Amino acid sequence: MTLLPITLFGDKILRKKTSKVTEVDNKTIELIRDMFATMRNAKGIGLAASQVGVDKQIFVIDVSGVEGYEEIKPMTIINPKIINKSEKTNKIEEGCLSIPDIRAEIERPAEVTLIYQDVDLKEHTVKVSEVLARVVQHEYDHLQGILFIDYLSGEEKKELKKDLENIKKRKMEVDYPVSEAAH
């Protein structure tokens, strides 16, 4: 397995709507394995393909390290569609491997229903809540070119401007491989 460099704020692919997966070949399986290894190495609980520079509608999740979610098996989500969001919302602090050292309270629906395909391109429908719903929405947003900081107010974004510029210029330290500075 290979640790892939994680794309950082400022990389164009993070703002791109990703492409649908039409076949899962050995290269795709290898990508998924590498994404799991990369996510775990970076101590993340979710990772989208665009975060490793790949234009595909794939994300991986492993919340088994989160208290109360130890029984939840790692998931590979391909071509997802959120088909329902609860009226009830919750506000939880979020972070992102592509935006290191920045965390913010983000309000999102507490429950979502997701249709997705697995590695055999078999369709599944699942209703998730709490932490799992949060991670699913965060990673789903990545596939749409949306970052969690997009939910912040203008004032909150202004406060982060300097930190975001430093991330763009790679003037921050992380203990995982990252993409080269965007030009």
Q: What is the 3-state secondary structure (H, E, C) of the chain?
A: CCCCCECCCCCHHHHCCCCCCCCCCHHHHHHHHHHHHHHHHCCCCEEEHHHHCCCCCEEEECCCCCCCCCCCCCEEEEEEEEEEECCCEEEEEEEECCEEEEEEEEEEECEEEEEEECCCCCEEEEEEEHHHHHHHHHHHHHHCCCCHHHHCCHHHHHHHHHHHHHHHCCCCCCCCCECCCCC
For residues 33, 35, 38, 42, the Cα torsion angle rounded to the nearest 10 degrees is -130
Please tell me which residue in 71, 139, 159, 173 is annotated as part of the active site: 139
105 is an active site residue: no
Which residues are the active-site residues?
139
